[in-house]
């Protein structure tokens, strides 16, 4: 339905029941990452209606199908607390219409900038906000205290270690790609591009080897630049064996020996960190049964062979040269 057929108007006290129902739907669809008190959240909705900016979009039959809550936080800073559109009215322009009206009211109250929060997992909303001109200004991190205290009480974690393997016999091309990208990551004392073995060129960079995120970025960049298959294989914090298989710069498969080592994951994410032997076979030629047998997962490192042993097993199953 086009936004022109929806009426955007200020919310009133008579709309509170409908607004609260929509807010519950919003929380069910995009659950907060931090604990929250539903009663307090619903009370804040009423506060926005009474004291700040609360706008609704009303369909021809009188049903409220979307809302936006906003306020001025001081020093010219506007704040959009919540924006929600029911599924049947998305991509109709109603979100933009609500936001335009909210922005106009914020400006009238003295705001010259506006902020909002969006969960990292809400890709659809992030794309919309970025298209409108929002850009990242801060990153809020969250950790349960029990988990944080437990990790802080540990001794310093074991170092990480990893290699990147490029499926190629063209050493000069890989060296050129490494030389053009590695300086952007920071200063590395040593980068070793080894000779091809079994159709793979191993790349060991001093900086990336000890930083799993940098190792992954290096592998992805080399896959993009060479247009081929590249695999990052490492041991993280001396405990978790992980590989990420790229094809032309895109992730094709990912594996972690202890998927929830860093904290609980959604069931689908746990499954997604189990190796896919079919994909590994298609891209590397590895025997899928060997990959399945080597790339085991568990709830803790203690349930698996030592990580160095598991690292070597997986490398052998994939035909990767370690020496």
Identify the H or E element spanning 313: helix 307-318
Strand, helix or coil for residue 59:
coil
Q: Which DSSP symbol is given to 135?
A: -
Q: How far apart are CA 219 and CA 204, in angstroms?
A: 11
Is the pTM higher than 0.85? no
Crossing angle of helices 94-108 and 123-132, in 10° steps, is 50
Question: Which tokens sit at 321?
Answer: 């040269």
Closest CA to 196 of 166, 218, 223, 221: 166
Q: In 3D, which of 48, 230, 33 has the Cα closest to residue 139?
A: 33
Q: What are the DSSP calls for 267-311, one per residue?
A: HHHHHHTS--HHHHHHHH---HHHHHHHS---SSGGGSS-HHHHH
Percent of the chain past pLDDT 70, that is, above it, reads: 94
From residue 123, give the alpha-carbon distance in Å to each of 120, 137, 251. Answer: 7, 17, 17
Does residue 2 sit in helix, strand or coil?
coil
Exposure b/e, 10-22, CB count within 10 A at least 16 = b? ebeeebbebbbeb
Res 310 pLDDT > 90: yes
Task: Name which of 224, 112, 103, 230 is nearest 165 in CA terms.
Answer: 230
Matching residue, tokens 């929002």:
134
Structure-block tokens of residue 50: 């009474």
C-alpha angle 190/191/197, rounded to 5°? 140
- Domain residues of the chain, as ranges? 3-132, 157-318
User: In this predicted model, what pLDDT tens digit does every residue of 52-98 receive, in sequence order?
Assistant: 999 999 999 999 999 999 999 988 899 999 999 999 998 889 999 99
**CA distance between the termini of the chain:** 62
Please enumerate in sequence order all residues whose Cβ is within 8 A of that of 156, keeping only pairs 6 or more positions apart, or say none.
none
Tens of pLDDT along 157-216? 688 999 999 999 999 999 999 988 877 665 556 899 999 999 999 999 988 999 999 999
Rounded-to-integer distance, Cα 103 and Cα 106, Å: 5
Q: Which tokens go with 312?
A: 């070597």
The phi-psi region of residue 50 (left if phi > 0; otherwise alpha if psi is between -120 and 50; otherwise beta) is alpha
CATH number for the domain formed by residue range(s) 157-318: 3.30.70.1270
227-285: pLDDT as tens digits = 999 999 999 999 999 999 999 999 999 999 999 998 888 988 889 999 999 999 999 99
CATH 3.40.630.30 fits 3-132, yes or no: yes
């Amino acid at each position: 339905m086009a936004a022109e057929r929806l009426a955007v108007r200020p919310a009133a006290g008579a709309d509170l029941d409908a607004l609260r129902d929509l807010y519950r739907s919003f929380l069910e669809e995009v659950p907060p990452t931090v604990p929250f008190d539903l009663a307090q959240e619903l009370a804040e909705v009423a506060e926005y209606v009474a004291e700040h900016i609360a706008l609704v979009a009303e369909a021809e039959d009188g049903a409220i199908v979307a809302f936006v809550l906003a306020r001025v936080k001081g020093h010219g800073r506007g704040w959009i607390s919540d924006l929600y559109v029911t599924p049947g009215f998305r991509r109709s322009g109603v979100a933009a219409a609500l936001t335009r009206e909210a922005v106009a009211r914020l400006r009238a109250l003295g705001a010259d900038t506006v902020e909002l929060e969006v969960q990292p997992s809400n890709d659809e909303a992030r794309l919309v906000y970025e298209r409108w001109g929002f850009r990242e200004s801060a990153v809020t991190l969250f950790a349960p205290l029990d988990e944080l205290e437990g990790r802080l009480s540990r001794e310093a974690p074991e170092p990480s270690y990893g290699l990147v393997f490029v499926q190629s016999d063209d050493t000069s091309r890989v060296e050129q790609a490494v030389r053009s990208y590695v300086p952007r990551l920071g200063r590395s004392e040593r980068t070793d591009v080894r000779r091809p073995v079994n159709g793979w060129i191993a790349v060991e960079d001093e900086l990336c080897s000890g930083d799993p995120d940098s190792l992954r970025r290096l592998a992805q960049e080399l896959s993009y630049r060479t247009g081929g298959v590249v695999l990052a294989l490492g041991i993280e914090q001396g405990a978790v064996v992980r590989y990420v298989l790229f094809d032309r710069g895109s992730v094709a498969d990912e594996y972690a020996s202890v998927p929830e080592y860093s904290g609980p994951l959604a069931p689908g994410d746990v499954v997604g960190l189990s190796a896919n032997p079919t994909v590994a076979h298609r891209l590397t030629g590895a025997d899928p049964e060997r990959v399945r047998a080597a790339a085991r997962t568990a709830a803790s490192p203690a349930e698996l062979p030592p990580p160095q042993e598991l690292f070597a097993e997986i490398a052998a199953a994939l035909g990767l040269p370690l020496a």
